[in-house]
Structure 1
Amino acid sequence: MTEAAVRDWVRQAAVGAGERDGLTSSEREELAALGRENRGLREDVEVLKGATAFFARRPGERASVHRRGENCGSQRQTACGLLQVSRTASYTRRNGIPGPRRVRDAELTEETTIVRQRSRGTYGAPRVHAVLKREGTGCGRRRVARLMRQAGLAGRTPGRRHRTTVPDPHASTRADLVLRDFQPGPAAIGTRGCGDIAYIATEEGWLCLATVIDSASRRVVGWATADHLRTELVADTLTAACRTAARRAQ
């Protein structure tokens, strides 16, 4: 222990007892705390000034929130604390070097695009994730969905189902006049026929296509289209089939 240290202790004890003028230990600690708080406030003001200059810049003008100088590191640390980011991320962002996560996201985006191209653009995030997992690529489904959303990729959704046949429970049954004999043959041409109605989705809505097919020749002998399923559609189809049969008979 040195004499200087003893003299400082004796002098500080006399100040604390009121025997000498000066600052007590508690006052010195309070003054040091106020000084640290004042320095922190000044750093915050400098950061806010830089942020104001950044957001008030003209289009095309480059500006930096951080100023170069003696307190550049301290200001950067304060700014990172306010933004709740690490200083490493700040330097990486300033230098333009992508981090490991961003590099991995770019790789996964490329792999996701390849998988979607193999599916002819039909796979969505769940199926793409299943394919990547099956091929040994470790990633989460939500991550794949986020990357596909950022890349503007989306799977094809199934079209709206259209109810076609509405049976009437009170309708009477019809007799089977052909006894389920639909085998082709030249001798049976023009004697047996069957009908069907197809539903085609268009930009203007559903299109109903009714046809009559000759069971022996498998040829379409009559057809008609409409945007409804009323009796007129079936009647027009049968009329067209009768006209075809009449022309063949002449």
Structure 2
Amino acid sequence: MKKIPKQEYTAEFKALAVKRVKDGLTVSAAARELGLIDKTLRNWVKAADTGKLGGVGAKLVTPEQMELTRARAEVVRLRREVEIPKKSDGILCKRCAVKYAWIDTQRACYALTELSSVLAVSVSGYRAWKRGGKADRSRLTDVQLLALISAIHEELKAAYGSPRMVLELRARGFSASKARVERLMRENDIRARHKRRFKVTTDSKYGLPVADNLLDRNFTPAAPNQVWTSDITYLWTDEGWLYLAIVLDLFNREVVGWSLKPRMTADIVTDALTMAWFRRKPAPGVLLHSDRGSQYASHAFEDKLTEYGMICSMSRKGNCWDNAPTESWFNSFKNERVHGWRFSTREDMTATAFEYIEVFYNRRRLHSTLGYKPPVPFLKDWLMAQQSDISVA
């Protein structure tokens, strides 16, 4: 079995990763959440400081598009919540052990010193709890468990209902039954964000040639880099529309390529495809399925498919279900990060999309199609299993 080649990153990805460090995350925390080696990200930061940050594929976005402010705003919000007893109902203030447990859920995103300051506890106290408090994690009271559920609910921006919340708690080392978690969430009105109806946005009124539907709704390939799907969605900000194109590997449902632009021209889909190809560098023969939008029927996109040795497949006219996994991804993204929030600038939306794709969805979000595993860990487990089979043979 051939391994997936070492990833290469676009200038857009590098710049957004660097901005997460510039806006408050430590290099180690940012590298961990993005699946990078510390030294790699540190080198990107140094290159950015000297104006020599390069990359492959997509063009570098403007500083305004790359500005990420969510991390610092989140810390301010958390500080405000724990300082106002009426809002938090004092849950995080009742016992230091609960504070330490909550800090433990946030370590991947924020510096320990900053978290300790927010909750008015000592770093040494947290470390002492970490060394000796793990045995008590499975015996939480309802108040303690509710504090953790509330913290995770806020951390994941209301992405999880009770089934995923149970799995998330267990993955973090806390034992909790499904019935107990359901009860606490129901009694305290903690719920996942609701789904919205799909709206067709594809413009297929043009004279360009279209491809046959070769995918034919076979959404379960046997291996990575066999079937990729792609689509575009609209994202509204106070500055106007921002458009997001993604490329999804159906095997592990990972977003392997993406592009954000203020105009919906052909380069948005070619840039997303370029990112995907440089990340995976698949052998010729990948089936790339999309709708019949003019961007996908353009000569520029057709030339890019030919360059990469890919096979084009398109949904039937007006049939969004032919590309259901990608539509489902957009639905999850908008429900969990977009609907209900106001984005004053395109840069705010860019930050949100980057965090959702690269930090949360690909590496952390539990995916029901994958047996409640995140896409990247699912693929790593599959590759390790393949290697074990080869070794036994």
Using the size of structure 1 for normalisation, the TM-score is: 0.31
Between the two structures, name the one with larger relative contact order (CA 8 Å, sep ≥ 6). 2
Larger radius of gyration: 1
Using the size of structure 2 for normalisation, the TM-score is: 0.20
